[in-house]
Chain A
Amino acid sequence: MANFTGKSILICGVGGQGTLLMSKTLTAGLVAAGYDVKMSEVHGMAQRGGSVSTQVRYGEKVYSPIIGRGEADVLIAFEKLEGARYSNLLKIGGTALINDYEVMPLPVSSGAAEYPQNIYDEMRKGFDLRIIPASTIAKSLGNIRCTNIVLLGALVRVFGLELIDWNAALTASVPPKVLALNLAAFDAGYQFEG
């Protein structure tokens, strides 16, 4: 990336897991902090259950909204297999933050294929792997749907984004009635010692 001095974040998961709210909150924080920001989402064919990914890039000046292979600084996966699938976009030695959670794809549930068992072992070979039980933490807080914000908190920790006002970003992007839950989720993700 000769002309790019910023950072690239890749968020992936299964449609319906809340990747969009996470990227919305993340970009709100980055914009408020004064960065140039671009974000690109891929909408799959179906409404739910497909593989989804969002790319967020920020820095002094961002041209391309998307990256090629080996260019992401950090990968956040809401689902283990999706983390493996998109890891070719992560740079060697980059941080892979993986939610320890499996959603069976149709070929597996129909018995035509096996869910890979060696994902963590393989990812450790190329990346700085951080496993976080974000969905378990979210459930213990009362709602699995705040998995996304648990992961955001963890990202802020591993990526050193503490200087941004995340309380304000969350207040701007989540409905008031679930703000307290999401603030707790953020904190739990941030505090998690992996």
Chain B
Amino acid sequence: MSNKTRQLLTGNEAIARGAYEAGVTVCSAYPGTPSTEIFENLAQYKDSIYAEWAPNEKVATEVAYGACIANARSLTAMKHVGLNVAADLVFTAAYNGVGAGFVIVTADDPDMHSSQNEQDNRRYAQFAKIPLIEPADSQECKDFMKEAYHISERFDIPVLFRTTTRVSHSKSLVTFGEREEQSPARYVRNIPKFVCTPAFARKHRPELEEKLKALEAYANTSPLNSMELGGGKIGVLSASIAYQYAKEVFPANASFLKLGFTWPLPMDLIRTFASNVETLYVVEELEPFMEEQLKAAGIACIGKQVIPPMFELNPEIVRRGIFGTEPEVAKLNLDMVPRPPALCPGCPHRGFFYVLSKRKDFVITGDIGCYTLGYAAPLSAMDTCACMGGGFSLGMGMAKAFAQQGITDKKIFGVVGDSTFFHSGLTGAVEILYNKGNMIPCVLDNSITGMTGHQDNPGTGFTLKGEIASKIAIEDVFKSFGYGNVIIVDPQDLKAMQKAVDDALASTVPAAIIARRPCILIKRLKHDVGKCQVDRDKCRGCKVCLKVACPALHMTDGKTEIDQTLCAGCQVCAQACPFGAISRLDEQKGE
């Protein structure tokens, strides 16, 4: 790659490049939208960077932090909710400080494009007392990464680097720079610094406050913060992607204070800026994070009274808030049918949920992954989905509640995916066994981390770099815990799937189900794909096949038809059909 040409990169690609240029050598993460592509792109620098998928965000953050203690510049990255998992370490790492630079990327998801909440992780910087950096485009993603390492080392503190979906996933032009090769000092044990006993922690506590004061002083002069005086009466304080929206909305003579270093806030700089304008707007997405601090400091400003405090912003929303203008939009009289996400044609999860959907006495506690889509009609086979690992533990709580209430006619199935099992299903599986949970843990093992776009995990046998790794067998894990009846089944075989459920329910020893079939989209595997077709003479239009919720099926003139461009030939619909009207084309020909 030539260094001086401009390339159109996503924020995530630029962050990976920035980590490379910063001389980072150790990186660990768990995938999560919208952060995943950072690490997928780090793999291209494998000659100079060690990068891995860890089992979860807590482990990833610990690995990266350990590396920084050993004087390697290190990186971890996660989606916003991943930081909840990693938070345990982060608060203490703030006290201890770093060896070499340590940066934690949090990719927030305003509007919940692919998330369960839209928590504003800027609060974490303030809460954990670590500096916060927010880029507003891809060039800044790259450049600010380098600066983040300088800040981390200069102030001896981890740095939180926050993007949003629009920063991570939108593309803008980036000019590359050179890598800053590091010459790390040889590691020396430092007990007072890195052993967080109460005595040492009490010593670090006031030191941390001093660091934050020094960081605020730095923020006032940081090149990441810039003032653009336009000569008009209006001033705008903004950061991250909201700055881009504000730039399009406010008149050309508006003044801007654009912050890239957003905690501790540069209060002196903000006061100077405020004194240059008559009306100060704070344009920020999600929480009134900056606005609250300005108001607490006695700086008058207008923020969330005109800018919505939830969901994503865009230029239209900012314009409406500030100027009250509505866009002209064509009014069409159309009944817009939604196109909700659905399990793909050929998805191995379909058979599992189809079999479980037939029983009204089943309670199914689900989890985060493609298989969450088991909730969707017409399957509607899910009771809960809240967080990684909750598929097992929420079911456990329900089992205990039912027991307390004398309810005996409910059968509970806890459902997690293979990657989720390693992420935080392990402890739930222990809990169920240890505390005698009356439920069946199920792992929907499609042999990949699916929804985030196919990342390897401890069960796939490959690493982030595609190298062969120890393949941890989920059945061995269950057995080693003490599950006496571990049933492995191909969920695409509906009879076998039904038998697995019946066997698990009848089991006299703790049972677990592993529904195993690789995701049909895994490129390195050969799949038995084909096309199914409906014999229109045999089809009676009963619509039983539609209950498998396959996007390839629809009704035409009262009979089922299969879209040949979508069908993968999995034959779940064919097994569901009571009249044998559906079969594989290649099998009809006797091949």
Task: Please report A residues at the B interface, Cβ cutoff 8 Å.
Answer: 1-4, 14, 27-28, 31, 36-51, 62-71, 81-82, 84-85, 87-88, 90-92, 103-116, 118-119, 122-123, 125-127, 144
Contacts and interface: CB of A to CB of B under 8 A. Distances in A.
Contacts of A50: 339-342
B584 interface: no
Contacts of B471: none
Contacts of A109: 546, 551, 553-555
Contact of B339 (A51, A71, A91): A51
A42 B451 CA distance: 14
Contact of A39 (B170, B453, B546, B555): B170
Nearest to B323: A2
A31 to B, nearest CB: 5
Interface in B323-382: 327-345, 370, 372-373, 376-378
B562 to A, nearest CB: 10
A107 B341 CA distance: 11
B8 A37 contact: yes
Contact of B341 (A45, A66, A114, A118): A45
Contact residues on B (Cβ < 8 Å of other chain), bracket: 35 or more
Interface of B: 6, 8, 33-34, 113-114, 137, 166, 169-173, 241, 243-245, 247-252, 314-317, 319, 327-345, 370, 372-373, 376-378, 450-451, 453, 521, 543, 546, 549, 551, 553-555, 563, 565-566
B331 A126 contact: yes
B134 to A, nearest CB: 15
Contacts of B137: 38
A63 B169 contact: no
Contacts of A38: 137, 170-172
B574 to A, nearest CB: 17
Contacts of A46: 341-344, 370, 373, 451
A115 to B, nearest CB: 7
A43 B12 CA distance: 14
A40 to B, nearest CB: 4
Given A42-B113, A49-B342, A66-B170, A3 B252 contact: yes
Contacts of B243: 63
A40 B167 CA distance: 9
Contact of A48 (B34, B329, B330, B344): B344
Contacts of B317: 68
The 4 closest A-B pairs by CB, nearest first: A68-B316, A126-B330, A109-B554, A65-B170
A107 B337 contact: yes
Chain A CB count within 10 A is highest, among B252, B342, B546, B555, for B342
Nearest to A81: B337
Given A40-B166, A42-B113, A110-B546, A49 B344 contact: yes
A70 B340 contact: no
B147 to A, nearest CB: 22
Contact of B327 (A36, A42, A66, A71): A71
Nearest to A2: B251
Chain A CB count within 10 A is highest, among B244, B315, B376, B450, for B315
A188 to B, nearest CB: 20
A43 B245 contact: no
Contacts of B554: 104, 108-110
8 contacts: A46-B341, A46-B343, A48-B345, A69-B327, A84-B332, A87-B330, A105-B338, A122-B334
A109 B370 CA distance: 21
Nearest to A111: B555
A111 to B, nearest CB: 6
Contacts of A28: 8
Given A116-B334, A116-B335, 5 more contacts: A70-B316, A81-B336, A87-B330, A118-B333, A122-B333
Contacts, number: 200
Contact of A43 (B169, B247, B333): B169
B354 to A, nearest CB: 14
Contacts of A14: 339
B113 A64 contact: no
A149 B6 CA distance: 25
A127 B563 CA distance: 31
Contacts of A91: 328
Contacts of B549: 106, 110
Nearest to A62: B172
Contacts of B328: 70, 91-92
A87 B336 CA distance: 11
A80 to B, nearest CB: 11
Contacts of B341: 44-46, 49-50
B340 A40 contact: no
Contact of B114 (A1, A39, A45): A45
B373 A125 contact: no
A111 B339 contact: no
B169 A3 contact: no
B509 to A, nearest CB: 37
B349 to A, nearest CB: 11
B338 A111 contact: no
Contacts of B166: 40, 65-66
B339 A65 contact: no
Contacts of A3: 247-250, 252
A44 to B, nearest CB: 6
Contact of A27 (B8, B553, B566): B8
Contact of B332 (A41, A51, A71, A87): A87
B170 A2 contact: no
A107 B553 CA distance: 11
B244 A64 contact: yes
A111 B566 CA distance: 18
Nearest to A84: B334
B248 A2 contact: yes
B339 A2 contact: no
Contacts of A103: 563
Contacts of A116: 334-337
A81 B329 contact: no
A137 to B, nearest CB: 16
A168 to B, nearest CB: 14
Given A4-B248, A45-B451, A63-B248, A82 B315 contact: no
A28 to B, nearest CB: 8
A68 B114 CA distance: 20
